[in-house]
Amino acid sequence: MRFDRIPKSLALIPDGNRRWARSNGLSVLEGYNFGVNKFIDFSEWCRNYGINNLTVWALSSENTKRSTHELHALFNIYRKACKDKNLINRLEENEIKLNIISKSRSIPKDLSFLFKKLEDRTENNKKGVINMLIGYGGKDDIVFAAKKITTLVKEGYRINEEMIKNCLMSFKVPDIDFVIRTSGEIRLSGFMPWQAGYAELYFSKKLWPDFTKHDLYNAISDYNRRERRFGK
């Protein structure tokens, strides 16, 4: 089916990996690993609909307070993904650019280095973008911007909308058309307060690893039926 309205910029909050692992008798590591692989599939499903700008909240600032064991497991999955030749080839073949949005102290230095290598390698890709938020929080983003704005004002710059946007930690992420959150949680939890202000919201009861291609179809069908008025 063809849709009249397709979100140009889609954001995903993939909740439920730990609950899915427990309900299936698996370890947290296995749950996260399944969730990462599901996202790779999800990004290609989105491309098939013509959605070329995708943002995923991979780890929130609150999540970084979880146990050292759990974070170590998750970071190891990301290390493995950064070195996965098949995954790197898929990014390059599809001409996908990767942006990492993160507070530098939120993740280990060696992982930051691996992410930077992937960013540099995909920098000139033009057919799509994946923005990965890791150790990100909306309040942190505002504080980050406020500090930069304070410095610029002292230097004589005037505050306007464009200036604030460019001072955000997440300045590379465009305004978001559609946010999908899984696992039955009906809230944004501080997700991208600037870019998601006028986003359409869709909440799925499915735990993230159970989310399917058909579930994405249902979400986009729902988006297609909405009339976006932006306050008009």
- 3-state SS assignment for residue 181: strand
Q: Where are the beta strands (DSSP E) in the chain?
A: 9-13, 53-60, 96-101, 128-136, 178-181, 200-203
Q: Enumerate the H helices of 49-179 as residue ranges.
A: 68-82, 85-93, 109-122, 138-154, 161-167
Q: Which of 17, 33, 48, 63 is catalytic?
A: 63
63 as an active site residue: the answer is yes
Angstrom CA distances, 130 to 27, 156, 230, stand at 28, 35, 25
Q: Which residue in 6, 1, 2, 10 sits closest to 195, CA to CA?
A: 10
Q: Note if 15 is an active site residue.
A: yes
Residues identified as active-site: 15, 63
